[in-house]
Amino acid sequence: MPVGEKVIFEYSRPGRGARDQWPQETPAAALSDLPAKLRRTRAPELPEVGELEVVRHFTRLSQLNFSIDTHFYPLGSCTMKYNPKACNQYAMLPEFLARHPLAPESHGQGLLACLYELQEMLKAVSGMEGVALSPMAGAQGEFAGVAMIRAYHRARGDLKRNEIIVPEAAHGTNPATATMCGCAVREIPVDREGDIDIEALKGAVGPQTAGIMLTNPSTLGVFERRIAEVARIVHDAGGLLYYDGANLNAILGMVRPGDMGFDVIHMNLHKTFSTPHGGGGPGAGAVGVGARLLPFLPIPVVGRDGECYRWLTEADLPQSIGRLSAFMGNAGVLLRAYIYMRMLGRDGMRQVGEYATLNANYLLRRLQDAGFDAAYPQRRASHEFIVTLKRQARDLNVTAMDFAKRLLDYGFHAPTTYFPLLVPECLLIEPTETETKDTLDAFVTAMIQIEKEAQQEPARVTTAPHTMPVRRLDDVRAARQLDLTWKPTAQP
Amino acid sequence: MSNVPADLRYTKSHEWVRDLGDGTVEIGITDHAQHELGDLVFVEVPGAGRTVKADEPCAVVESVKAASDVYAPIAGEITAGNPKLAGEPEVVNADPYGEGWLMRLKPSPGALAAAALLSAAEYQKVLDTEGG
Amino acid sequence: MAFIPHTEADVAAMLAAIGVARIEDLFDEVPAELRVKSLAGVPEALNEMEIGRLMSARARSDGIALSFLGAGAYEHHIPAAVWAITTRGEFYSAYTPYQAEASQGTLQLVYEFQSMIARLTGMEVANASMYDGASATAEAALMAVRANRKSKSARILVPLTLHPHYRRVAVAIAANQGVKFEELPYGAQEGITLPDALARYDKEDITALLVPYPNFFGRLEDVDALTDWAHARGILVIAVVNPTALALLKPPGEWGARGADIAVGEGQPLGVPLSSGGPYFGFMTTRMEYVRQMPGRIVGRTLDAAGKDGFTLTLQAREQHIRRAKATSNICTNQGLAVTAATIYLSLLGPQGLTRTAAAAHARARELVAALTRTPGVRPAFAGPYFHEAVLQLDRPVAPVLRALAGRGILGGLDLAGYYPELGNALLVCATETKTSADIDRYRSAMSEALQSVRAA
């Protein structure tokens, strides 16, 4: 791999530029109406570089990354499956790219047809009555979901229901979202088998319960077997059930959250429906609701009047929790999800669930056979599973972090580490359905190799990675000596 | 095994309290706490003159992996926040019971006596059950 | 089977290793009554050729019109290199850079982005992006409530000249946390916020003031006066800005005596196509003293174990995956690909290119307004300078005029009737460097015809 790149400002030379990209110069007279006190006095300090320099710089930067296109990426809870090129190509047709969000609906029936059909397909796979596409990420979808639950209770005059129950193993966005919605958070434990502690749940529900946020399979990688009972307990207490769709890949086409008793769900289109992760987004967190919450969906939603599609807004949904996006969310991402779902089709959805689960269980079995400890050995893996390295940490002084860094040297992106917080020294491993058996076998071989190194030559593991563009980074220094923007005379 | 000086009092949330003998107390986080947090990157202490209630969060200690609130063990008025920590948060790791003090406080009348602070032995028991 | 590579031999070997007879057996923990019978609502699979035909047909039916729409999303020339590089697999299919050593490309790019956007806005530090300008505005309001220690009220002043959708999003996102938004009226002749609108808040406990620049009408608020008024009262100033405009106009860091406290805006004009409203990205910049209150990811430069420069996510303790219920926000995924495009765009344009783009946009907008207001029945709504968009008043309802224009292949602008009924028959029009004089003339001529046809109807 290339060893590294200077920061682009360091290539800057006064007067350089990609002149082919500049409009013609405007005579000063055309700017005469802008008052001097509102004008910039110096040009903005952006780098001055030519076009080839820019292309070379960013191409070389891209080559410093691991990505799904280049490496196996078994990040648990992230669903790093292949991002089909067709999704990108057809979502980026010029007409779709050129369309202004406020262009009249008459000029967007093609796009609206895609989005409407996407809503319908998402309803079908989730078992919900209504879907809204505008939340721009899973976390915004969660926000919408909890906000809708809160709106529902308030609309019924039940103002005391302000508490959201969250299992202790939940993803950090769940309690953060509850707080953003003005709710209190109550955590309940999971039992040793990885299921919710039913007795603790019974003790936690009451007239203050707005709802519970769950994912199924859970963040521990196992199916919540007593979900019907959980649903009954929460519903009987007057609360609603929210489904965090991060793990939908495990059950896609096999089980529908609506059938499990969930009242509202968000789906991560950038996970289950293969829209690109893009180095940190953009995602899309579509939400689905049962009948009770239909009036509260965030706007806009695509509606149909006979043959015509149109946007439903505040006038159509007066009880909506409101608008979460300046326009209608991440349309380009939604198109990619639409194309993916059309290519999967009815049978393909089920195959995703089947093969994601097959790959995870196979990988789990091979790792167990190689001597690694599963966190829940008596349970089936869902689409992901947890291996705990606490024995290795204790006996060999080699941690999950060390394994993760050494895996990079073997050409694999590390699994998720230290999440869920509940399991010490854990690796949360999600292969996804688009990987071959050979890739999984190679991963097992690497893990076996690393454990051998940990026994015989531990420094090789504890100081890994060795072959990446950088060695292990000092994140304490990064937080203590904040260097967040480039400065001309900056010295490390 | 973390250090638990015998002459201090403690809370379940891993703060220590030292009676300065002049009507004020000094407060910090324990050796166990600093070890759990890891290298501190940032500490925020309350300003002098601020009144706090018992169990009110009044300081923040932040490491790379965690950011924790520090709770006032006793009600009272803050007389000082440790000025050294803004520039050198690592002092809390190096010397949690000495130079790494977080704040000084003048307890409200009767608050010190009423506060259910733990002795060193009782705090050690808390650590033992937590596995620290 | 879409994208699933397994052969029958693979499956047999894998099942044997696991010790089950069929894939079905791996779902034995799932109660049978929960199993889906059929996904009736999902059609049969299409192969790539078939979906390609369908999407092409739909795109063709939508077509591309000559557009003079602005209102928060702006058409600019996007150099070919921007998306050629952004859609490289190494950027496109990479994850959030949590494993820093395997993500130096993304991390360094974001550091460069942070540097550029901080400079453009005249502020000290930036985050790695938020979802869009509207949600960034909401997050800035929440941040101001955290950061302004002197104010307890959580009251935020919002000019009615701020984009109507931004105002609604701010309420939808922040109201649940006790933030109260209070609207400021604008001058009917001027189209900006006037000092007397602020007068009644002179002695009130206010946490922050939002200042759009340009505002929704394209007009330029008196940013220095507004900033100084706020700072004299301990009120934080949140600038909501257009990034292209900042190549020509005074950046928020230089407003008033001390500069704005937080600057946010929509980054779409910087190399991101209109694409029906998203994905865009919100940018957020601030002073160093508030950096720990800023939500979202932040990249920092540091050293590796061998003393070499490297980049990593930092200040993560504020974020959801660590702080959980006490996080600054619940934001996790942001808008990485859009930021990638913007960084490449800014690098290609540089200071001269961006300045020329802003200048050309302004010149075209003036030309458009001049051309359209030569037509009887069309006049400017407000007096005073504007940047790249302006409000026109027509002597008849706007909606039928726009329909007539659309029939001639022109999207004439945004009808403001639903948003600002007090403005009467108001039309928001925009022109950027992408419009030629011939385009403008075509609009002028079509407007003339449209007005006549609506009158005749």
Q: What is the pLDDT of residues A213-227, one digit of tens each?
A: 999 998 888 899 899
Phi, psi of A305 (to 5 degrees): -115, 95
* Smallest Cα distance from C17 to chain A, Å: 7
The neighbours of chain C, by the rule of 3 or more Cβ pairs under 8 Å, are A, B
Give span(s): CATH 3.90.1150.10, chain A.
Answer: 352-476
In a domain, B116, yes or no: no
B65-78 burial code (b ≥16 CB/10 A, e <16): eebbebbbbbbbeb
Phi, psi of A114 (to 5 degrees): -60, -45
Mean pLDDT of A411-430: 90
Q: What's the CATH number where B72 sits? A: 2.40.50.100
Of the candidates A319, A135, A182, A265, the one whose C-alpha atom is nearest the C-alpha of residue C134 is A135
Which domain covers residue B62, as residue numbers?
A: 9-109
In a domain, B80, yes or no: yes
Measured between CB atoms, does C362 come within 8 Å of chain B?
no
Token pair recorded at residue A342:
């059309």
Task: Indicate yes or no: CB of B90 within 8 angstroms of CB of A475.
Answer: no
Give span(s): CATH 3.40.640.10, chain C.
Answer: 80-345
Phi, psi of A91 (to 5 degrees): -70, -25
- The DSSP H or E segment spanning B124 is helix B120-130
A35-60 burial code (b ≥16 CB/10 A, e <16): eeebebeeebbbbbbbbebbbebbbb
pLDDT tens across A473-486, in order? Answer: 999 999 999 999 99
Residues of B in contact with C291 (CB under 8 A): none
Residues of B in contact with A475 (CB under 8 A): 64
Mean pLDDT of A196-223: 93
What whole-number distance in Å separates Cα of residue C240 and Cα of residue A114? 33
pLDDT higher than threshold 90 for residue C454: no
pLDDT higher than threshold 80 for residue A10: yes
pLDDT tens across A105-153, in order? Answer: 999 999 999 999 999 999 999 999 999 999 999 889 999 999 999 999 9
What whole-number distance in Å separates Cα of residue C390 and Cα of residue C423? 13
CA-based angle C162:C165:C167, to the nearest 5? 55
Task: Indicate yes or no: CB of B90 within 8 angstroms of CB of A480.
Answer: yes
DSSP SS3 for A197 = coil
Confidence of residue C320 (pLDDT cuts 50, 70, 90): low
Among chain B residues, the shortest Cα distance to C314 is held by B64
In a domain, B4, yes or no: no
pLDDT tens across C273-303, in order? Answer: 999 998 999 999 999 999 988 998 899 999 9
Phi, psi of C180 (to 5 degrees): -110, 120
Phi, psi of C197 (to 5 degrees): -70, -25
| C273 within 8 A of A98, measured Cβ to Cβ | yes
What whole-number distance in Å separates Cα of residue B23 and Cα of residue A119? 67
What whole-number distance in Å separates Cα of residue C36 and Cα of residue A248? 14
| A277 within 8 A of A80, measured Cβ to Cβ | yes
Q: Among the CATH numbers 3.30.2090.10, 2.40.50.180, 3.10.310.30, 3.90.1150.10, which is that of A352-476? A: 3.90.1150.10
By CB neighbour count within 10 A (0-12 exposed, 13-18 middle, 19+ buried), where does C7 fall?
exposed
What whole-number distance in Å separates Cα of residue B34 and Cα of residue B73? 17
Residues of A in contact with B63 (CB under 8 A): 476
What does the pLDDT read at residue C40? 87
Look over chain A and give the mean of its residue pLDDT values, rounded to a whole number: 94
What does the pLDDT read at residue B68? 84
Confidence of residue C16 (pLDDT cuts 50, 70, 90): very high
Domain C66-75+351-456 = CATH 3.30.365.10 = no
| CB atoms closer than 10 angstroms to residue C94 | 32
Confidence of residue A2 (pLDDT cuts 50, 70, 90): low
- The DSSP H or E segment spanning C358 is helix C336-373
Task: Indicate yes or no: CB of C326 within 8 angstroms of CB of B69.
Answer: yes
Chain C residues 37-66 within an 8 A CB cutoff of chain A: 38-48, 51-52, 54-65
- Hey, what's the torsion of the CAs at A490, A44, C103, A381, to 10 degrees? 130
Q: Which residues contact A315 (CB under 8 A, 6 or more apart)?
A: none
pLDDT higher than threshold 60 for residue C133: yes
Which one of C94, C129, C168 has the shortest CB-CB distance to A65?
C94
Of the candidates A271, A244, A284, A338, the one whose C-alpha atom is nearest the C-alpha of residue A73 is A271
Task: Indicate yes or no: CB of C325 within 8 angstroms of CB of A175.
Answer: yes
Pairs across B and C, CB distance < 8 A: 19
Task: Indicate yes or no: CB of C316 within 8 angstroms of CB of B63.
Answer: no
Confidence of residue B132 (pLDDT cuts 50, 70, 90): very low
What does the pLDDT read at residue C322? 53
* Smallest Cα distance from C13 to chain A, Å: 9
Chain B residues 91-130 within an 8 A CB cutoff of chain A: none
pLDDT tens across B105-115, in order? Answer: 999 998 888 88
Task: Indicate yes or no: CB of A357 within 8 angstroms of CB of C26.
Answer: yes
Task: Indicate yes or no: CB of C120 within 8 angstroms of CB of A44.
Answer: yes
Measured between CB atoms, does B90 come within 8 Å of chain A?
yes
pLDDT tens across C145-170, in order? Answer: 989 988 999 999 999 999 999 999 99
In a domain, B67, yes or no: yes
Mean pLDDT of A139-168: 94
Among chain B residues, the shortest Cα distance to C313 is held by B64
Number of domains in chain B: 1
Mutation pick from C23, C318, C330 vs chain A, by most beta carbons of A within 10 Å, is C330
Confidence of residue C331 (pLDDT cuts 50, 70, 90): low
pLDDT tens across A378-387, in order? Answer: 999 999 999 9
Mutation pick from C242, C302, C309, C403 vs chain A, by most beta carbons of A within 10 Å, is C302
Token pair recorded at residue B86:
């803004």
Confidence of residue A422 (pLDDT cuts 50, 70, 90): confident
Q: Is the peptide bond before C273 cis (omega within 30 degrees of 0)?
A: no
Q: Determine the longest span between alpha carbons in chain B, in angstroms.
A: 38
pLDDT tens across C367-414, in order? Answer: 999 999 999 999 999 999 999 899 999 999 999 999 999 999 999 999
| A324 within 8 A of A285, measured Cβ to Cβ | no
Radius of gyration of chain C (CA): 26
pLDDT tens across B27-84, in order? Answer: 999 999 999 888 999 999 999 999 999 888 899 999 887 788 899 999 999 999 999 9
Token pair recorded at residue A50:
């030519």
Place of tokens 């942001």: C334
Residues of B in contact with C322 (CB under 8 A): 65-67
CATH architecture classification, C80-345: 3-Layer(aba) Sandwich (3.40)
Chain C residues 312-351 within an 8 A CB cutoff of chain A: 312, 314-315, 317, 319-327, 329-340, 343-344, 346-351
C235-271 burial code (b ≥16 CB/10 A, e <16): bbbbbbbbbbbbbbbbbbbbbbeebbbbbbbbbbbbb
Which residue intervals of A127-285 are DSSP H helices? Answer: 138-155, 173-180, 198-204, 227-236
What number does CATH give the domain A86-344? Answer: 3.40.640.10
Among chain A residues, the shortest Cα distance to C171 is held by A322
pLDDT tens across C40-56, in order? Answer: 889 999 999 999 999 99
Report the percentage of chain C scoring pLDDT > 70.
95
Among chain A residues, the shortest Cα distance to C96 is held by A280
Q: How many Å from the N-terminal Cα to the C-terminal Cα in chain C?
A: 57
Q: Which of B20-24, C423-427, C437-441 has the lowest mean pLDDT?
A: B20-24
Strand ordering across the sheet containing C236-241: C125-126, C282-286, C262-266, C236-241, C208-213, C155-159, C180-184
Residue type present at position C180: K
In a domain, B121, yes or no: no
Task: Indicate yes or no: CB of C317 within 8 angstroms of CB of B64.
Answer: yes
Mutation pick from A177, A342, A401, A435 vs chain C, by most beta carbons of C within 10 Å, is A342
pLDDT higher than threshold 80 for residue C330: no
DSSP states along C105-174: HHHHHHHHHHHHHHHHHT-SEE-S-BS-HHHHHHHHHHHHHHH-TT--S-EEEEETTS-HHHHHHHHHHH
CA-based angle A295:A229:A153, to the nearest 5? 25
Residues of A in contact with C28 (CB under 8 A): 380
Among chain B residues, the shortest Cα distance to A474 is held by B64
Which one of B41, B64, B67 has the shortest CB-CB distance to C323?
B67
Q: Determine the longest span between alpha carbons in chain A, in angstroms.
A: 78
Chain B residues 20-79 within an 8 A CB cutoff of chain A: 38-39, 41-42, 62-64
Pairs across A and B, CB distance < 8 A: 14
What does the pLDDT read at residue A1? 47
DSSP states along A267-287: --TTTTT----TTT------E
pLDDT tens across C205-234, in order? Answer: 999 999 999 999 999 999 999 999 999 999
Mean pLDDT of A235-259: 95
Which residues of chain A are at the B interface, by a Cβ-Cβ cutoff of 8 Å?
475-476, 479-480
In a domain, B3, yes or no: no
Task: Indicate yes or no: CB of C317 within 8 angstroms of CB of B67.
Answer: yes
| A83 within 8 A of C92, measured Cβ to Cβ | yes
Q: Which residues pair with A474 in a beta bridge?
A: none
Among chain A residues, the shortest Cα distance to B87 is held by A480
* Smallest Cα distance from C145 to chain A, Å: 13
What whole-number distance in Å separates Cα of residue A179 and Cα of residue C329? 9
Q: Distance of CA A347 to CAs A245, C46, C54, C134, C286, Å?
A: 20, 11, 20, 39, 50
In a domain, B122, yes or no: no
The neighbours of chain A, by the rule of 3 or more Cβ pairs under 8 Å, are B, C
What does the pLDDT read at residue A192? 83
pLDDT tens across C229-254, in order? Answer: 999 999 999 999 999 999 999 999 99
- The DSSP H or E segment spanning B42 is strand B40-44
Report the percentage of chain A scoring pLDDT > 70.
99
DSSP SS3 for C204 = coil
Break chain C down into helix, strand, coil percent, rounded to 5.
45, 15, 40
What does the pLDDT read at residue B69? 85
